[in-house]
A and B are shown apart, each in its own frame.
Chain A
Amino acid sequence: MRDRMIQLLLFNVTNGLIIGAFYVLMAIGLSLILNLSNVINFAHGGFLVIGGYIAYTLEPYLGFWGALVASPFLTAIIGLAVERLLISRVYGRDPLYGLLLTFGLAFVFEDGTRIIWGAQGKPFTIPAFLSQPLSNQFFFITGYRVFMVAMVTVMIALLFLLLRFTRAGIRIRAGTLDLETVAVLGVNARALRSLNFAVGIFLAGLSGVLAGGQLGLEPTMGAGLLMPSFIAIIVGGVGSLVGTLVGGLLIGVASGVTAVILPPASEAIMYVLMAVVLLVRPRGLFGEEGMLT
């Protein structure tokens, strides 16, 4: 009995890490935009849904792999257009403007998806060899989930390399700390913000394709995935991408383990965790001092 419980817990810790990895991918895009542009992007879930549906539409022509590559880029282009036309107008204003704008955009995206693709969910199919467990005992580790975690790892690694070693990346990091000074030094802040936004939306689009393979593709699916990402950012600490990474994995594991002990609380535990972190360390686990007032 005890052995079974321990096995169940271990299973759920592993499972939680897999789920957490997905939250991380979504949260990191959200975090990038928040850190540089001070916009809390409520429409991030909407971009995720668009990414998933674009992949669904392209799949018959390009196959799963083609759709996986093309869809995030197309989503990023849509993101770029939205940023240039709408979001750029609220930069430098009270954060509430950005909040209201993206809040409204989230509705527009959801209903737009419903108008274009219909309210009924779509069956997005993944290659058969990915769609099965790797072993009978660890049945919850499917080829697709391993692939998903690998994708997240590669993307995070690429992002950190980009931010560390490329000129644009270094400027984004510098801009996160003090955009005004960076702009005074001759960096085009407008282009920097657009690029950064597009990268964030690229990650949202990719999250959408990956989620579409595992979940039902449906206009409202973004809303449910957005909340854990917000919590991941708050737990990890605003302003820190590493914090977002840790925060995402942490809430994934917490929710997985709670599902064994007290299933109805598996969602609430994320909020409890957030409350505890905020009480003990108000700027979040890795939040940078002075980043936010």
Chain B
Amino acid sequence: MNRPYHAAPLSRRTILKAAAAAGVAQFAAPFVITARAADTVKVGMIDPFTGVYAAVAQNELIGVKFAAEQVNAQGGVLGRQIELLVEDSANDVGTGVEKARKLIERDGIQFLIGDVNSAIALAIAQVSNEKKVLHIVSGGHTDGITGKDCHWNVYRVCNTTKMEANSVAELLFNKYGKKWHFITPDYAFGHTLQEAAVADLKKFGGTMTGNELTPLGTSDFSAYLIKARAANPDVLLVLPQGSDMVNCLKQIAQFGIEKQIHVAGLQQELESLEAMPPEARVGIWMFEWYWKQPGVEGVDKFVADIRKRSGGKVPTARTWFGYTSLMSFALVANREKTLDGVKLAKALGDFELPADVKLQPNKCYYRKGDHQLMTSSFVGQALKEGKSDPEDLFQVDSIVAGDKTSPPESETGCTLQWPA
């Protein structure tokens, strides 16, 4: 076939449109895992399996799948097997909402898990609330989910940003100093996390030298780091997560900033530490769950079981979030002998996790007033190299119970409106 070389001239407008489309490119591409059977209990899960949070979302899925396998082996929920329907939110609010509607309206799920992204978690909670489906937010941290935007049908497993800040702030202040500088991701999660830390800092009598708001997906942090070092703080708190955190700490190490200023932060994850070179693994942080807890019942077995299912990788906090979300539903449904959303939501208030699910030394329970799980913070230091295991990259110094880090129910701003 003979085609002219320049059949249609490429206009500037086409290039501009193309550039605009590039932004949209990041919000697409769904995939579906379904295994349909007749008489099953359908559980829906929505998480960002593509995009920047794909690694943590995949670990949550490993935990959910393991819980489903365990529950099914022990007779299922009310004698019926759990059928898992997994959807990709692609890290996009609109897609997440669309998937939530699909799962609830078309597939008829009885229980919903998700999302890692706080904004999506808030949005799909509105859908699950409207449809009266019990919903556990596995990994979205922003305070509102169990605060001012709480719903009667929505529970949360991971910490609030307030809990995260409260667990480490005092230690940072006493150990590293009173002048703090922040690098904060510029969206809901970052804002609430930074505000919580500043509130603690002021309470102790410290000062903030500055707060660099960085767009989500920032790859080069050098300009912010130049500013932060010029402000000469005692502590530089790195709040971005995922690949942003990796990029930021990697550049901090290359600039040698950690040799002059204490570098630390609040939330840290194994997924991030593993993605960094050793020299970037510095500072005091909190983990939401850690796989090495000598002497704590059930942890070693859980680690061994997950390793068999993840190609040898240890469970992370995310794996535990996923596992705990589904186990909470199965346990409470079997105890109450019902799948009714309202009855189950009522029963989960004050529900305490048994030892083989909580996998931590402290008492671990859902709070009646705001539906937040009172789960521990694992406070400690990042390690350059694993001592006994290459994945042992965090040294836990203290495990603080959830009801010590969380503000009282009366201060969360949550008022639950139960259906009539």
A: residues with CB less than 8 A from B are 4, 7-8, 11-12, 15-16, 18-19, 34, 38, 40, 42, 91-96, 99, 103, 106-107, 110-111, 114, 118-125, 131-133, 139-140, 142, 144, 179-180, 183, 189, 211, 214-221, 223-227, 230-231, 233-234, 238, 255-256, 259-260, 263-264, 266-267, 278, 282-283, 292-293
Residues of A within 8 A of B11 (CB): 292-293
Interface 9-residue window, one of B2-10, B63-71, B128-136, B368-376: B2-10
Q: How far is the CA of A225 from the CA of B219 in the complex (A)?
A: 8
A132-B256 contact in complex given A120-B274, A223-B26, C-beta closer than 8 Å: yes
Instruction: Give 5 A-B pairs besides A121-B272, A220-B243 with Cβ atoms closer than 8 angstroms.
Output: A95-B10, A110-B50, A214-B251, A216-B250, A220-B51
Select B25's contact among A106, A125, A219, beta carbons within 8 Å. Answer: A106
Across the interface, do A230 and B19 meet the contact criterion of CB distance under 8 Å? Answer: yes
Across the interface, do A216 and B227 meet the contact criterion of CB distance under 8 Å? Answer: no
Q: How far is the CA of A218 from the CA of B52 in the complex (A)?
A: 8
B22: Cβ under 8 A from any A Cβ:
yes
The 10 closest A-B pairs by CB, nearest first: A121-B275, A259-B223, A216-B246, A92-B3, A119-B54, A120-B55, A119-B55, A179-B5, A123-B277, A94-B8
Across the interface, do B10 and A121 meet the contact criterion of CB distance under 8 Å? Answer: no
A215-B255 contact in complex given A123-B276, A131-B279, C-beta closer than 8 Å: no
**What would 9 A/B residue contacts be, using CB atoms closer than 8 Å?**
A38-B6, A40-B10, A95-B14, A103-B25, A114-B54, A123-B278, A133-B254, A238-B15, A260-B227
The chain B residue sitting closest to A128, CB to CB, is B279
A-B contact count (CB 8 A): 197
The chain B residue sitting closest to A124, CB to CB, is B277
Interface 9-residue window, one of B77-85, B107-115, B210-218, B332-340: B210-218
B207: Cβ under 8 A from any A Cβ:
no
Across the interface, do A180 and B5 meet the contact criterion of CB distance under 8 Å? Answer: yes
A226 to chain B, nearest CB (A): 6
Q: How far is the CA of A12 from the CA of B220 in the complex (A)?
A: 12
Residues of B within 8 A of A16 (CB): 223
B190 to chain A, nearest CB (A): 11
The chain A residue sitting closest to B23, CB to CB, is A227
The chain A residue sitting closest to B281, CB to CB, is A123
B302: Cβ under 8 A from any A Cβ:
no
Across the interface, do B257 and A139 meet the contact criterion of CB distance under 8 Å? Answer: yes
Residue-wise, chain B 221-248 has the 8 Å CB interface mask toward A (1 for contact) of 0111111011000000000000100110
Residues of B within 8 A of A94 (CB): 7-8
B44 to chain A, nearest CB (A): 21
B142 to chain A, nearest CB (A): 19
Residues of B within 8 A of A223 (CB): 22, 25-26, 217
Across the interface, do B10 and A38 meet the contact criterion of CB distance under 8 Å? Answer: yes
The chain A residue sitting closest to B271, CB to CB, is A120
The chain B residue sitting closest to A114, CB to CB, is B54
Select A122's contact among B22, B51, B275, B279, beta carbons within 8 Å. Answer: B275
B296: Cβ under 8 A from any A Cβ:
no
Residues of B within 8 A of A125 (CB): 277
Across the interface, do B5 and A263 meet the contact criterion of CB distance under 8 Å? Answer: no
B33: Cβ under 8 A from any A Cβ:
no
Q: How far is the CA of A120 from the CA of B271 in the complex (A)?
A: 6
A123 to chain B, nearest CB (A): 4
Select A42's contact among B5, B7, B22, B272, beta carbons within 8 Å. Answer: B22
Q: How far is the CA of A255 from the CA of B3 in the complex (A)?
A: 42
Select B29's contact among A18, A96, A111, beta carbons within 8 Å. Answer: A111
Q: How far is the CA of A120 from the CA of B49 in the complex (A)?
A: 11
A229 to chain B, nearest CB (A): 10
Across the interface, do B250 and A119 meet the contact criterion of CB distance under 8 Å? Answer: no
Select B5's contact among A18, A92, A230, A283, beta carbons within 8 Å. Answer: A92
Size of interface on B: residues with Cβ below 8 Å to A: 65
Across the interface, do B226 and A12 meet the contact criterion of CB distance under 8 Å? Answer: yes
Residues of A within 8 A of B49 (CB): 119
Residues of B within 8 A of A114 (CB): 50, 54
Residues of B within 8 A of A99 (CB): 14, 18, 21
Q: How far is the CA of A91 from the CA of B272 in the complex (A)?
A: 42
Across the interface, do A263 and B224 meet the contact criterion of CB distance under 8 Å? Answer: yes
A91-B3 contact in complex given A266-B223, A292-B9, C-beta closer than 8 Å: yes
Q: How far is the CA of A215 from the CA of B37 in the complex (A)?
A: 45
Q: How far is the CA of A34 from the CA of B15 in the complex (A)?
A: 10
The chain B residue sitting closest to A227, CB to CB, is B22
Across the interface, do B6 and A119 meet the contact criterion of CB distance under 8 Å? Answer: no
Q: How far is the CA of A110 from the CA of B25 in the complex (A)?
A: 11
B91 to chain A, nearest CB (A): 9
Residue-wise, chain B 271-314 has the 8 Å CB interface mask toward A (1 for contact) of 11011111100000000000000000000000000000000000
Q: How far is the CA of A179 from the CA of B271 in the complex (A)?
A: 49
A216-B247 contact in complex given A118-B55, A234-B15, A282-B12, C-beta closer than 8 Å: yes
Q: How far is the CA of A225 from the CA of B4 in the complex (A)?
A: 33
Across the interface, do B256 and A120 meet the contact criterion of CB distance under 8 Å? Answer: no
B420: Cβ under 8 A from any A Cβ:
no
Residues of B within 8 A of A111 (CB): 29, 50
A19-B3 contact in complex given A120-B271, A264-B186, C-beta closer than 8 Å: no
Across the interface, do A227 and B243 meet the contact criterion of CB distance under 8 Å? Answer: no
Across the interface, do A8 and B230 meet the contact criterion of CB distance under 8 Å? Answer: yes
Residues of B within 8 A of A120 (CB): 55, 271, 274-275
B240 to chain A, nearest CB (A): 11
A78 to chain B, nearest CB (A): 20
Q: How far is the CA of A40 from the CA of B8 in the complex (A)?
A: 13
Residues of B within 8 A of A238 (CB): 10, 12, 15
Residues of B within 8 A of A122 (CB): 275
Residues of B within 8 A of A215 (CB): 219-220, 243, 246-247, 250
Across the interface, do A234 and B19 meet the contact criterion of CB distance under 8 Å? Answer: yes
Select B8's contact among A95, A121, A219, A220, beta carbons within 8 Å. Answer: A95
Residues of A within 8 A of B255 (CB): 133, 139-140, 142
A51 to chain B, nearest CB (A): 15
Residues of B within 8 A of A211 (CB): 219
Residues of B within 8 A of A7 (CB): 230
B58: Cβ under 8 A from any A Cβ:
yes
- Interfacial residues of chain B within 338-370, with CB under 8 A of chain A in the complex: none
